[in-house]
């Protein structure tokens, strides 16, 4: 395992520095290779014993996403940018979910009602965009002297909007399909589950805001934040809800209400990467091929998703009047998929043992493996092409 | 106070959620982990505000919210969180090893051995004699024969002299003290930890020849030799690997630090060698054969990742304390604890004089050696297996004594650091010297 880690680290580290490749997905591959399905070096028991860490990693990811939503900064962005991002996210979800519903019903003979949940989960997974790819490309373009263009701003906002739409849709889906808990007199309704999910985040956010006070010491902040996110994630998973939305709300509340915004963001980002790598490693190890014929549905997903992204981005630009400044193929920059896709798929697999969870999980990790490495190059390619086109037009 | 109120609100809310869910995928353990960190952190801050070490607060939180207290943590959850404790032990050992520099060890080993030897010998003698003489008055030893009493005295004494690297490292991390008292305490604690494992094995062999013991409790001589020498070999190889990583890669240190701790503990378990000594050696080799800046970066990454792990480790230690047993055995524990403290005091004074330690070190050193935990708990379990008749009573007594020493010892060590001027509460930590982490005798 240590040897594999070192090899992955050295090889991809070199490629990442040289060829603008996003490092991370190699851990997913490493996890698959070390896991029970291939070499068996990481046994199923070890994967299970790391369950709390994986849940914590998912929750931490939610908090990091929430911490990006600093309202004063977001208010400076014009409405059309949000409109474009929101339309792109909705259209992608709808197209991929619809296509996958048809594929599951026709190819696998899954009853229509049973196929709705996995198709919708695949739709929400399809929306997610590799935020690290966008961030890396933006950093590299800034270093090369590229000014902050509306396209780059749009990509950053769209990355965040995609994450919010995916998390909210997935959370609502879990609330709708929530089984009755064993020890309650009356099982809560889907609306009540949604309220409970939001309450965990909002109440948690307010309480931790009061708890942290003006704490500035990074070590103490780390301990308190780890406790807060572990508690919120544990509570959510215990109640069979997604930890992503509650922790996203906690992150957003903390970042908007405390005076120590910078140290909190710093602690969240510093721990994010190790936890993300642990998540990828054990997500890979937890992979199991679906019992049903999974090759065709996954190939369809891998084909439909980029097409939907390109089409939805173009249509969203046209509908919200930003098409001219963004160009026709800005959706290419959104094709890369990263950690959030894996987190949602893993979260779905944890809870749902009936509705094709392995197929959904396999589709997600296949897409991440295919696109995450190249996500920064895709962004840079889209931006450079757009710039060339603008220069030609001028 | 504000944090304590919030903690109680969180406790009530967690209780509210309980009927809505079921365990699975480690959710309950994570929930307990989060709550425990929050509770321990809060009580630790309260402890600090009354000039007590934070770890005493962490342990108090474990007692308050543990299975004997408010039951926020069940016995099963405590067991489920044991991997966190194992991780903490590995991190503590690695950090302790990384604190030692080869030149300083070479310069000080004779002095440290003299102090450790005198202190351990006096403590073992005093505790053994006390137990032998007091045996007929201890309820669960009343029916023991003289030979059995000798055996019990020898075994219990060899456990009761153990110190706690965990408490020492936690205090040193908390206070960032690195003066002569801190350094000598760490040195004595680390050496005695290795010596005690060997002493206990010898004591066990002696007991086996004195009384017919049950089953195959306790390891054989060869196993002990391997446990110690194998730990040095495995730790050396691990440390060399880490040094190579630091020299040629040195990236993702936070993740690497955790991986080292997990990997080291797992390798030690699989090869049946002493975990603490393995990681200690690995830390020592890694630190001494890496570029200084990179070694320091790894230590800082480890300290950072260890922070919440330490909190949980000590809170779990608190949760495992059976308060009722401690209270019940208090009339027996207090004299034993006093004899132990007296022997440590006399031992460090005598040993310190023999080793020509400066007056200031001799004066405060004993206070850093009172704490107990970790290895002692494992050895107490072996004693319980050796004497089926009164083993359970002995185990309870030893665990209660360890609990008492663990909490009192932490308070005393902090006082020693404050009294010797190596830690000023509320002041910013003094920068750590890069090249002289263990000061030479007479240098203060």
Q: What is the pLDDT of residue B437?
A: 39
* Rounded Cα–Cα distance for residues B117 and B347 (Å): 9
As a whole number of angstroms, the distance between CA B76 and CA B440 comes to: 47
Q: Do A13 and B251 make contact, defined as CB atoms within 8 angstroms?
A: yes
**Would you state the pLDDT for residue B440?**
35
C-alpha to C-alpha distance for B303 and B299, rounded to whole angstroms: 6
Residue B25, phi-psi category: left (phi > 0), alpha (psi -120 to 50), beta (remainder): left
Q: By CB neighbour count within 10 A (0-12 exposed, 13-18 middle, 19+ buried), where does B279 fall? A: buried
For residue B264, the chain A residues in CB contact (below 8 A) are none
**The tokens of A119 are what?**
């198709």
Comparing B284 with B202, the larger pLDDT belongs to B284
Residue A292 near residue A36 (C-beta atoms within 8 A): no
The CA distance from A389 to the nearest CA of chain B, in Å, is: 40
Tell me the nearest-neighbour CA distance from A8 into chain B, angstroms. 12
Distance CA B380, CA B397 (A): 9
Q: Which two tokens stand for residue B80?
A: 């489920």
Weakest-pLDDT range from B251-255, B344-348, B419-423: B251-255
Q: In the predicted model, what is the mean pLDDT of chain B?
A: 81
A369's enclosing H/E stretch is: helix A357-371
Return the percentage of chain B with pLDDT > 70, whole number.
90
Q: Which of residues 274-293 of A touch B (CB under 8 A)?
A: 274, 277-278
Which residue from B367, B368, B372, B370 is spatially nearest to B403, judged by alpha carbons? B372
Question: Is B296 exposed, middle or buried, given 0-12, 13-18 or 19+ CB atoms closer than 10 A?
Answer: middle
Q: Is B252 left (phi over 0), alpha (psi -120 to 50) or beta?
A: left
| CA A207 to mean position of chain CA atoms | 26
Distance (Å, whole) CA A97 – CA A33: 30
Most A CBs within 10 Å: which of B26, B72, B76, B242, as the mutation test of the A interface?
B26
Q: Please give the pLDDT value at position B105.
A: 79
Collect all residues of chain A within an 8 Å Cβ-Cβ radius of residue B9. Answer: 207
- B24 contact residues in A (CB cutoff 8 A): 237, 350
Is the confidence at residue B441, as pLDDT, over 60? no
Of A48, A182, A271, the CB nearest to B22: A182
The answer on pLDDT for B60 being more than 60 is yes
pLDDT for the residue numbered B38: 87
What's the pLDDT at B213?
Answer: 58
Using the Cβ of A10 and the Cβ atoms of chain B, whether some distance falls under 8 Å is answered with yes
Q: Select from B320, B377, B315, B317 the least CA-distant residue to B75.
A: B320
How do the pLDDT tens digits run along chain A, 394 residues long?
556 666 666 666 666 666 666 667 778 888 888 888 888 877 888 777 778 888 889 999 999 999 999 999 899 889 999 999 999 999 999 999 999 999 999 888 888 888 899 999 999 999 999 887 888 888 777 777 665 678 888 888 999 999 999 999 999 999 998 888 776 667 889 999 999 999 999 998 998 888 887 777 777 888 888 888 999 998 998 888 999 999 999 999 999 988 888 888 888 888 887 888 888 888 888 888 766 667 888 999 999 999 999 999 999 999 988 888 888 888 888 988 888 999 999 888 887 666 688 888 889 988 988 888 788 888 888 888 888 887 887 7
**What's residue A96's pLDDT?**
95
Taking a C-beta distance cutoff of 8 angstroms, is the pair A325, A367 a contact?
Answer: no
Q: Which residues of A touch B311 (CB under 8 A)?
A: 223
- pLDDT value at position A20? 65
User: Cβ(B176)–Cβ(B429) under 8 Å?
Assistant: yes
d(CA A11, CA A384): 27
Name which of B259, B263, B255 is nearest B234 in CA terms: B263
User: Are A339 and A54 a contacting pair, CB within 8 Å?
Assistant: no
Is A233 in Cβ contact with B249 (below 8 Å)?
no
Of A52, A181, A270, the CB nearest to B19: A181
Q: Which of A205, A343, A251, A203 is nearest to A66 (CA)?
A: A251
Is B33 within 8 Å of A55 when comparing Cβ atoms? no
| Residues of B within an 8 Å Cβ radius of A | 2-3, 6, 9-10, 13-14, 17, 19-35, 37-38, 41, 83, 241, 245, 249, 251-252, 254-255, 258-259, 263, 304, 307-308, 311
Q: The pTM is what?
A: 0.81
Q: H/E element holding B238?
A: helix B221-248
B235-258 mean pLDDT: 82
> Is residue A303 within 8 angstroms of chain B, CB to CB?
no
Q: How many CB atoms lie within 10 A of CB A142?
A: 12
Nearest CA of chain B to the CA of A73: how many Å?
Answer: 30
Q: Once rounded to an integer, what is the mean pLDDT over residues B340-368?
A: 92
ipTM score above 0.85: no
């Amino acid at each position: 395992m240590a040897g594999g880690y070192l090899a992955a680290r050295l090889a991809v580290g070199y490629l990442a520095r040289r060829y603008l490749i996003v490092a991370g997905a190699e851990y997913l591959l490493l996890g698959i290779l070390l896991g029970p399905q291939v070499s068996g070096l990481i046994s199923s028991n070890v994967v299970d014993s790391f369950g709390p860490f994986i849940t914590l990693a998912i929750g931490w990811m939610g908090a990091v996403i929430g911490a990006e939503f600093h309202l004063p900064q977001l208010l400076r962005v014009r409405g059309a940018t949000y409109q474009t991002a929101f339309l792109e996210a909705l259209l992608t979800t709808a197209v991929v979910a619809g296509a996958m519903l048809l594929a599951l019903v026709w190819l696998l003979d899954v009853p229509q009602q049973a196929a709705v949940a996995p198709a919708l989960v695949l739709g929400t997974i399809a929306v997610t965009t590799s935020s690290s790819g966008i961030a890396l490309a933006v950093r590299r373009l800034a270093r090369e002297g590229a000014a902050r263009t509306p396209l780059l701003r749009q990509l950053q906002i769209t990355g965040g909007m995609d994450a919010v739409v995916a998390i909210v849709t997935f959370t609502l889906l879990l609330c709708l399909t929530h089984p009755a808990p064993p020890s309650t007199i009356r099982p809560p309704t889907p609306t009540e589950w949604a309220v409970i999910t939001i309450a965990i985040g909002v109440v948690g956010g307010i309480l931790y805001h009061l708890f942290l006070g003006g704490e500035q010491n990074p070590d103490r902040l780390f301990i308190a934040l780890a406790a807060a996110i572990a508690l919120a994630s544990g509570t959510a998973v215990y109640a069979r809800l997604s930890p992503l939305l509650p922790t996203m709300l906690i992150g957003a509340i903390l970042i908007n209400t405390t005076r120590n915004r910078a140290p909190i963001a710093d602690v969240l980002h510093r721990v994010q990467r190790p936890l993300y790598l642990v998540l990828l490693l054990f997500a890979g190890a937890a992979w199991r091929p679906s019992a049903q014929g999974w090759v065709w549905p996954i190939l369809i997903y891998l084909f439909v998703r980029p097409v939907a992204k390109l089409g939805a981005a173009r249509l969203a630009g046209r509908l919200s009047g930003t098409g001219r400044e963004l160009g026709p193929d800005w959706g290419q920059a959104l094709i890369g998929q990263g950690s959030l896709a894996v987190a949602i798929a893993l979260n779905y697999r944890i809870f749902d043992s009936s509705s094709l969870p392995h197929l959904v999980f396999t589709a997600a990790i296949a897409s991440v493996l295919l696109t995450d490495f190249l996500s920064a190059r895709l962004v840079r390619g889209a931006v450079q092409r757009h710039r060339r086109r603008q220069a030609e037009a001028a | 106070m504000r944090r304590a109120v919030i903690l109680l609100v969180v406790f009530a809310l967690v209780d509210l959620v309980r009927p809505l869910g079921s365990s699975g995928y480690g959710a309950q353990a994570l929930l307990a982990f989060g709550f425990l960190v929050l509770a321990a952190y809060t009580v630790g801050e309260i402890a600090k505000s009354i000039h007590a070490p934070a770890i005493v607060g962490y342990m108090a939180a474990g007692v308050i919210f543990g299975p004997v207290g408010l039951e926020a943590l069940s016995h099963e959850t405590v067991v489920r969180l044991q991997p966190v404790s194992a991780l903490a032990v590995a991190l503590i050992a690695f950090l302790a090893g990384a604190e030692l520099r080869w030149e300083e060890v070479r310069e000080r080993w004779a002095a440290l051995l003299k102090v450790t030897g005198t202190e351990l010998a006096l403590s073992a003698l005093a505790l053994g004699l006390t137990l032998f003489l007091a045996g007929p008055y201890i309820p669960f030893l009343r029916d023991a024969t003289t030979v059995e009493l000798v055996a019990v005295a020898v075994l219990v004494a060899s456990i009761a002299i153990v110190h706690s690297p965990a408490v020492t490292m936690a205090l040193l991390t908390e206070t960032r003290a690195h003066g002569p008292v801190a350094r000598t305490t760490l040195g004595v604690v680390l050496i005695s930890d290795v010596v005690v494992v060997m002493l206990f094995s010898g004591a066990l062999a002696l007991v086996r020849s004195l009384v017919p013991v049950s089953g195959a409790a306790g390891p054989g001589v060869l196993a002990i030799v391997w446990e110690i020498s194998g730990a040095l070999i495995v730790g050396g190889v691990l440390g060399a690997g880490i040094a190579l990583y630091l020299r040629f890669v040195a990236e993702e240190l936070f993740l690497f630090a955790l991986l080292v701790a997990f990997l080291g503990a797992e390798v030690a378990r699989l090869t049946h060698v002493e975990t603490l000594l393995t990681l200690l050696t690995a830390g020592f080799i890694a630190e001494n054969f890496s570029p200084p800046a990179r070694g320091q970066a790894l230590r800082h990454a480890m300290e950072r990742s260890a922070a919440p792990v330490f909190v949980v480790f000590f809170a779990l230690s608190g949760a495992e304390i059976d308060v009722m047993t401690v209270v019940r055995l208090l009339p027996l524990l207090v004299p034993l604890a006093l004899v132990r403290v007296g022997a440590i005091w006399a031992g460090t004074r005598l040993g310190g004089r023999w080793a020509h330690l400066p007056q200031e070190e001799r004066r405060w050193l004993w206070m850093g050696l009172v704490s107990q935990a970790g290895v002692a708990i494992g050895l107490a379990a072996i004693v319980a297996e050796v004497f089926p008749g009164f083993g359970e009573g002995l185990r309870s007594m030893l665990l209660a004594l360890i609990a008492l020493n663990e909490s009192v010892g932490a308070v005393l060590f902090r006082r020693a650091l404050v009294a010797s001027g190596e830690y000023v509460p509320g002041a910013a930590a003094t920068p750590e010297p890069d090249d002289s982490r263990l000061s030479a005798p007479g240098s203060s």
